[in-house]
Amino acid sequence: MSDKVAKWIFWAGTIISVLVLLVLTIDSHKQFNYLTNVDKLDARVIAGKKTFEKHNCNDCHTILGFGSYYAPDLTRAYTRLGEDSIQRRLKHPESVFSDSFRKMPQQNLAGQEIADLLAFFRWVSEIRNNDWPPQHSETRWKRSTDKMLASAAISPGAALVLQENCLDCHTLGSRGVAKGQRLEWIAQSRDALWMADFLKNPEAIAPGVDMPAYDHLSKEQRLKIAEFIVSLKTHRGED
């Protein structure tokens, strides 16, 4: 290879690559408005991002998959956990994670800081990022739940979920309100007996949780609800 060819490779390679990056950067900026819902990026969301940075959250957690890997990814925390669960974790990590082998620091957050963080997480959860992360894929949860509810005759458990207005606080498939945890997410981590106990007296298992007790239901009814929720489990290798 001659010197001339070597120099040519250097300049051509560099210039082509720089051009690709710059042109696509300009185009990406045009698309960020839609992809990240810039119209919803208000002062609260920005305040939430500042709080997120002030407490160095990102050096334990990942968000959009970036950061440290010591704690769960927060990209879809809002849709997975709901507002109440996030608040409890932020306010009382020492009691929420008292049984956990890994702890979260008590940051003594002000009420406003927590509200800002919730706004931030909510905005982040709506970023169109090619449906990552796979384990918290809303699309998959909705698809599988809707398919199940459409194909099966309505089960006694499902009927009870509707009758007891669970979806006024929880999300399920394409329905519900993100105050409590998504039912599909609960299905990933808890078994039916645990859930039946929890329904009877949530306060006993998760002190401070903002959920009413369902002690007016019989044990059998509570188990029916729990079994329905367990049946929502997706993933585990199959889609």
Partner 1 sequence: MEYRSQRIAYSYFVIALLLFGLQVVTGLWLSLSYFITIPQAIVDAFPFSTARAMHTNLLVLWLLLGFMGATFFMIPEETKRELLWPKLAVVQLILLVGTGVAALVGFLFGWTQGKPLLEIPRPLDVVIVVAALMFLFNVGLTMFKAKRWTVTQGSLLAGLTFLSVLYLFGIPFYKNLTVDWYYWWWVIHLWVEGAWELVVAALTAFMLIKLTGVERKVVEKWLYVELGLFLFTGIAGTGHHYYWLGAPKYWLWVGGIFSALEPVPILLMVFDTYRHMKESKLPFVPKLTWTYLVANVVLHFVGAGLFGFAHTLPMINYYTHGSQVTVAHGHLSFFGAYVLFNLTFFYFAIPRLKGFPDGQYKEKRGYWGFWLTSLGVLGMSLAFAVAGVLQTYLERVQGQPYMIAQKPIRFWMLIVFAHGILMVLTGAVIIISHLLTLKPAKA
User: Where in 76-105 is the site for partner 1 (CB under 8 A)?
Assistant: 94, 100-105
Q: Which of 44, 71, 142, 227 binds partner 1 (CB under 8 A)?
A: 71
d(CA 86, CA 102): 17
Sign of CA dihedral 199, 161, 97, 46: negative
Q: Rounded distance, CA 79 to CA 169, Å?
A: 12
Confirm or reject binding of residue 11 to partner 1 (CB under 8 A): yes
CA distance 207 to 193: 19
Q: Taking CB under 8 A as the criterion, which residues in 209-228 touch partner 1?
A: none
Chain-centre distance for alpha carbon 110: 22
**What binding mask, one character per residue, do residues 146-185 give for partner 1 by CB under 8 A, x or -?**
---------------------------------------x
- Judged by beta carbon, residue 49 or residue 200, the one nearer partner 1 is 49
**38 touches partner 1 (CB under 8 A):** yes
**Amino acid letter, 98:** S
Nearest C-alpha neighbor of 164 from the set 97, 83, 224, 233: 224
User: What pairs with residue 176 in β-bridges?
Assistant: 171
Question: C-beta of 168: minimal distance to partner 1 in Å?
Answer: 25
Does position 50 bind partner 1 by CB under 8 A? yes
Indicate the residue among 182 and 224 with the shorter CB distance to partner 1. 182
User: Does 110 contact partner 1 by CB under 8 A?
Assistant: no
Residue 228 and residue 161 in contact, taking contact as beta carbons nearer than 8 Å? yes
Instruction: Considering only the stretches 124-132, 156-164, 172-180, 221-229, report the one whose residues sit in contact with partner 1 under the rule CB under 8 A.
Output: 124-132
**72 is an interface residue for partner 1 by CB under 8 A:** yes
Residues in the chain: 239
